[in-house]
Amino acid sequence: MTINPDLKYSRDHEWVKEEDGLFVIGISDFAQDALGDLVFVNLPEVGDAVTAGEAFGDVESVKAVSDLLCPVTGTVAEINEELLDAPEKLNEDPYGAWIIKVENVTASEDLLDAAAYEAFCAEA
Amino acid sequence: MSELKRTQFYDIHVKAGATMVDFGGWEMPIQYPEGIVAEHLYTRSVCSLFDVSHMGRLLIEGPERLAFLQHVLSSNAAALDVNQAQYCIIPAEDGSAVDDAYLYRFEEDRFLLVVNAANTDKDLAYFAPIVKNYDCTIKNITDVTVSIAVQGPKSGEMLKVLAGGVEVTKPSRNSLSTMDLEGHTVRIARTGYTAEPIGYELFLKNEDAEWAWNRLCELGAKPAGLGARDTLRMEGMLPLYGDEMGVDEDGKPMPIFALALAKFAVSFDEAKGDFVGREALKKQADAQASFKAKNYSPEAMAALPKRVRPIALVDRGVMRHGMAVYRNGEQIGWVTSGTMIPYFMTEGEGENVRLLPETGKRAIGICYIASDVPLNGEVEVDVRGKRLKAVIPSKHISNNVPPYVVPVMAKHN
């Protein structure tokens, strides 16, 4: 399992990166490995409100559906449309394949740095 | 997990990195590290090994074995010569299924009946009071034998190597043989549950399990788990008890002739005589024949209100078991099996079909819906609150010309 040292992580295995006032969100390598081959991604629309701790979309493997839980509260500024046709990018490059970018962020979960997230995964 | 049963291959699965799950009381591999998509595609292009040792293997022996089987199975067991097998259903009196099964005749004086793992105990309990009326016995040999499904375009060639260069069975589906493979006696059936044009199921003694598995891996086969087994059978419209057979989402028994393949599994031959469920099944069979002639009379619709059909999603999404299917706003049934299934692009036709390196994936499945939905009829599926467009094609794949399965794309406007 790899952990990108430059990112912050939620306890639901999403990663977060602040970039020019936007919060970029994806799933960790731990998450993609546990989910298995991803074959479909349901994304929100630009302009949708998202809430910390609540689902903003879902990913489907061959066997099951899993919610994507948003680590921050705000408004969806961009979605990664490439994932609609190629959800396997989340398996192949979890830290490169961002899912959504959120603007007007008013709240955030208590996020873990890479070292704390590594310890969190070790206990999981 | 201690109460779960394990097959002879348990250590081999764990060593190969398989994810193990509870399946019908057995601890079985759902997938190996390469994943379900890769395992599905390897089966379609090369050859996969499936541990199917969890399935119930029952030997039916004694002078009245044939009369017993004719009474409790849907098929005409008298039509089986030695070294032939047939698909059959264990009908209930109301014309629904207790289970589905495969009947093998490797030997003159006994039959092997293979039933679903999760139903083995139920089937044995169902047979117990009936078999008492016949001079024959049922011996459960599940624990003392193993079974491996060897499926895919290269499966025949691999087994031929183990047989020292001879074909292991006749080329026709359902042919059987008992062969010496590198000093091990193996019973071989040209059967399977992947819809592959070429595929075999092996029955072996427990002590030969490891040898067979490892030798086939050396020859290029790769293990595949229950996940790929499910996507492969779904693509081929092969029913699974609990999804396409048994009871529906409302708890109502599903008629056996709701399945298109019932006409191959149920025999009304005179030689078979009366059997459990015959009367109900005859009415269902007449209804199925009438639908085939596009006659949706009230009598036929009453005998067979819903049928099991392929379904392909037109909108983006994924269908799952239990999702409601609608026509013009009215619910007409449910999705019984569904997921996103990968396929190879192909070129050429018939025996000249070639698999291309490019692959695709499609949201397809199986549904149980009102019998009068026409071919290519449009329906909607409630995918977690959203009504998505779907279509009812004739099939998902074509598999009548070996060696390759060819995907058939659904037509829609």
Nearest CA-CA distance, residue A111 and chain B, Å: 30
Q: Do A37 and B339 touch (CB under 8 A)?
A: no
Q: Do B313 and B270 have their domain in common?
A: no
Q: Which residues of B touch A41 (CB under 8 A)?
A: none
Contacts of B130 (CB under 8 A, 6+ apart): B68, B71, B72
B340 touches A: beta carbon within 8 Å: yes
Residue B300 in domain: no
The answer to whether the CB of A79 falls within 8 A of the CB of A85 is: no
The answer to whether the CB of B5 falls within 8 A of the CB of B26 is: yes
Domains of chain A: 14-123 (2.40.50.100)
Contacts of B204 (CB under 8 A, 6+ apart): B145, B146, B147, B148, B184, B186, B187, B212
Q: What is the pLDDT of residue A64?
A: 86
* Rounded Cα gap, residues B58 and B141, in angstroms: 6
The answer to whether the CB of B151 falls within 8 A of the CB of B191 is: no
Find the domain containing B231 and state its range: 1-276
Out of B35, B227, B317, whose CB is closest to A40? B317
The answer to whether the CB of B318 falls within 8 A of the CB of A65 is: yes
Q: Do B321 and B181 have their domain in common?
A: no
Residues A78-104, mean pLDDT to the nearest whole number: 95
Q: What is the pLDDT of residue B2?
A: 54
Residue B33 in domain: yes
Q: Which long-range contacts (CB under 8 A, 24 or more apart) does B271-276 make?
A: B271/B76, B271/B78, B271/B79, B272/B70, B272/B76, B272/B77, B272/B78, B273/B70, B274/B71, B275/B70, B275/B71, B275/B72, B275/B73, B275/B74, B275/B91, B276/B71, B276/B72, B276/B91, B276/B92, B276/B93
Which tokens go with B252? Answer: 């109502």
Closest CA to B134 of B55, B73, B56, B57: B73
Q: Do B267 and B364 have their domain in common?
A: no
Nearest CA-CA distance, residue A42 and chain B, Å: 8
Q: What is the pLDDT of residue A124?
A: 76
The DSSP-derived string for B129-176 is HHHTTSS-EEEE-GGGEEEEEEESTTHHHHHHHHTTSS-SS-SSTTBE
pLDDT tens for each residue of chain B, 413 residues long:
458 999 999 999 999 999 999 998 999 999 999 999 999 999 999 999 999 999 999 999 999 999 999 999 999 999 999 999 999 999 999 999 999 999 999 999 999 999 999 999 999 999 999 999 999 999 999 999 999 999 999 999 999 999 999 999 999 999 999 999 999 999 999 999 999 999 999 999 999 999 999 999 999 999 999 999 999 999 999 999 999 999 999 999 999 999 999 999 999 999 999 999 999 999 999 999 999 999 999 999 999 999 999 999 999 999 999 999 999 999 999 999 999 999 999 999 988 999 999 999 999 999 999 999 999 999 999 998 999 999 999 999 999 999 999 999 998 76
Q: Do B264 and B309 have their domain in common?
A: no
Asked whether the CA dihedral B147, B153, B156, B158 is positive or negative, the reply is negative
Interface probe with A: pick from B359, B361, B362, B382, most Cβ of A within 10 Å: B361
Nearest CA-CA distance, residue B264 and chain A, Å: 30
Q: Do B231 and A62 touch (CB under 8 A)?
A: yes
Out of B35, B320, B363, whose CB is closest to A36? B35
Out of B36, B317, B318, whose CB is closest to A37? B36
* Rounded Cα gap, residues B127 and B121, in angstroms: 10
A33 to chain B: closest CA residue = B33
B21 touches A: beta carbon within 8 Å: no
The answer to whether the CB of B20 falls within 8 A of the CB of B27 is: yes
- Choosing from B256, B276, B296, the residue where a domain stops is B276
Report the CATH number that the domain containing residue B189 is assigned in CATH.
3.30.1360.120
Q: Which residues of A touch B37 (CB under 8 A)?
A: 37, 39, 62
Closest CA to A70 of A89, A55, A48: A55
Nearest CA-CA distance, residue B35 and chain A, Å: 6
* Rounded Cα gap, residues B267 and B275, in angstroms: 10
Contacts of A82 (CB under 8 A, 6+ apart): A89, A97
B361 touches A: beta carbon within 8 Å: yes
Q: Do B17 and B121 have their domain in common?
A: yes
Q: Do A39 and B231 touch (CB under 8 A)?
A: no
Q: Which residues of A touch B231 (CB under 8 A)?
A: 62
- Over the stretch B245-289, which tens digit does the pLDDT of each residue have? 999 999 999 999 999 999 999 999 999 999 999 999 999 999 999
Tally DSSP H helices, then E strands, for chain A: 4, 9
A-to-B residue pairs, Cβ atoms closer than 8 angstroms: 37
Which tokens go with B363? Answer: 């949201």
Residue B94 in domain: yes
Report the CATH number that the domain containing residue B390 is assigned in CATH.
2.40.30.110
Q: Which residues of A touch B361 (CB under 8 A)?
A: 39
Q: Do A36 and B36 touch (CB under 8 A)?
A: yes
Contacts of B156 (CB under 8 A, 6+ apart): B167, B168, B198, B200
Q: Do A40 and B30 touch (CB under 8 A)?
A: no
Q: Which residues of B touch A65 (CB under 8 A)?
A: 318, 320, 384
Q: Do A60 and B318 touch (CB under 8 A)?
A: yes
- Choosing from B257, B276, B295, the residue where a domain stops is B276
Predicted ipTM beyond 0.95 = no
Q: Do B331 and B192 have their domain in common?
A: no
B76 touches A: beta carbon within 8 Å: no
Residue B113 in domain: yes
Query: Phi and psi for B60 in degrees, rounded to 5?
Result: -110, 115
Q: Do B50 and B117 have their domain in common?
A: yes
* Residue B238: C-alpha distances to residues A38, B43, B110, B113, B273 (Å): 24, 16, 27, 18, 28
Q: Do A63 and B361 touch (CB under 8 A)?
A: no
Residue B292 in domain: no
User: How many C-beta neighbours within 10 Å does residue B291 have?
Assistant: 18
The answer to whether the CB of A21 falls within 8 A of the CB of A92 is: no
User: How many C-beta neighbours within 10 Å does residue B143 have?
Assistant: 12
Contacts of B312 (CB under 8 A, 6+ apart): B362, B363, B364, B365, B390, B391, B392, B393, B396, B409, B410, B412
- Over the stretch A27-73, which tens digit does the pLDDT of each residue have? 999 999 999 999 999 999 999 999 999 999 999 998 889 999 999 99
Q: Do B229 and B341 have their domain in common?
A: no
H-only helix segments in B226-368: 226-235, 262-265, 278-292, 298-303
Q: Do B339 and A63 touch (CB under 8 A)?
A: yes
Q: What is the pLDDT of residue B1?
A: 45
Q: How large is the angle between the packed helices B120-131 and B65-72, nearest 10 degrees?
A: 120
B43 touches A: beta carbon within 8 Å: no
Nearest CA-CA distance, residue B317 and chain A, Å: 7
A87 to chain B: closest CA residue = B361
Q: Do B30 and A63 touch (CB under 8 A)?
A: yes
Q: How many domains is chain B partitioned into structurally?
A: 2
The H-or-E segment that residue B211 falls in is: helix B209-218
Nearest CA-CA distance, residue B36 and chain A, Å: 7
* Rounded Cα gap, residues B369 and B336, in angstroms: 10
Q: Do B320 and B267 have their domain in common?
A: no
Q: Which residues of B touch A34 (CB under 8 A)?
A: none
Q: Which residues of A touch B340 (CB under 8 A)?
A: 39-40, 60, 62
B31 touches A: beta carbon within 8 Å: yes
Give the B window 202-261 contacts with A, CB below 8 Å: 227, 231
Q: Do B311 and B217 have their domain in common?
A: no
Q: Do B181 and B99 have their domain in common?
A: yes
Q: Do B245 and B338 have their domain in common?
A: no
Nearest CA-CA distance, residue B12 and chain A, Å: 21
